[in-house]
Amino acid sequence: MKSSCTRAIVIVLFSLMSLTSYAADIQAGKSKSAACAGCHGADGNSMSGTWPSLAGQHASYLAKQLNDYKSGARVNATMQGMAGILATETDIQDVAAYYQSLELKPIKFDDKLIAKGESIFRGGITEISVPACMACHGPNGSGNAAAAWPSLKGQQPDYIVSQLQKFREGSRANDTGKTMRNVAARMSDSEMTAVAAYIAGIKYGPTKLKFSSSGIRA
């Protein structure tokens, strides 16, 4: 898995080098993102698993996704329309930088699935050749900004599951080197649900997690 991650990083870095170098304007991004608040929250924290939280996400990942929506590499009618509003690469970089600057807030999740999810995230599923999620996304789910790989920690679990399912069925295909499609193809819905629950609870880093009875990280 490490070699596939390395190959994917090289491909993504060459892609990112093609983008215009620009010092993003966070305040301009706030203004340009006004239409995004209806789904992603006024502060970038989504209130529904239908839509991802964007607060604290790597600007490089957000910019890639917006460009993929515009090009058709990633398909979603709503987001393709929204991305189309951002007329220039400058607009995209500003919005991405704005969301990266925001703070991600803790969310509810199913704490009964934490142990199974942690096992998959940290160790994979050896018998079916599913690699550890942390091999690419890091031990605390922070992702890799240089490779434009997303931070997963604290993300809406229903959204994580929906994206894994889309990768599995091939309706989402904008992953570098088919990395996520190859992983998701081997996973069951229950395994996806478990790892998504664990991901939702790792907002605060690689230290041992503590959970309240409500399923919110204490």
Q: Is there a single domain that holds both residue 195 and residue 138?
A: yes
Helices 114-123 & 189-200 angle (0-180, nearest 10): 90
Residues 6+ apart with CB under 8 A from 81: none
Give 32-52 pLDDT, tens digit per residue. 999 999 999 999 999 999 999
Mean pLDDT for the chain?
88
Q: Is there a single domain that holds both residue 85 and residue 11?
A: yes
**160 located within any domain:** yes
- pTM here is 0.85
Give 199-218 pLDDT, tens digit per residue. 999 864 433 344 334 444 33
Domain count of the chain?
A: 2
pLDDT at 213: 40
pLDDT band at 3 (very low <50, low <70, confident <90, very high): low
Q: Is the pLDDT of residue 157 over 60?
A: yes
144 forms beta bridges with 149
Distance, in Å, from the CA atom of 4 to the CA atom of 191, rounded to the nearest integer, reads: 22
**210 located within any domain:** no
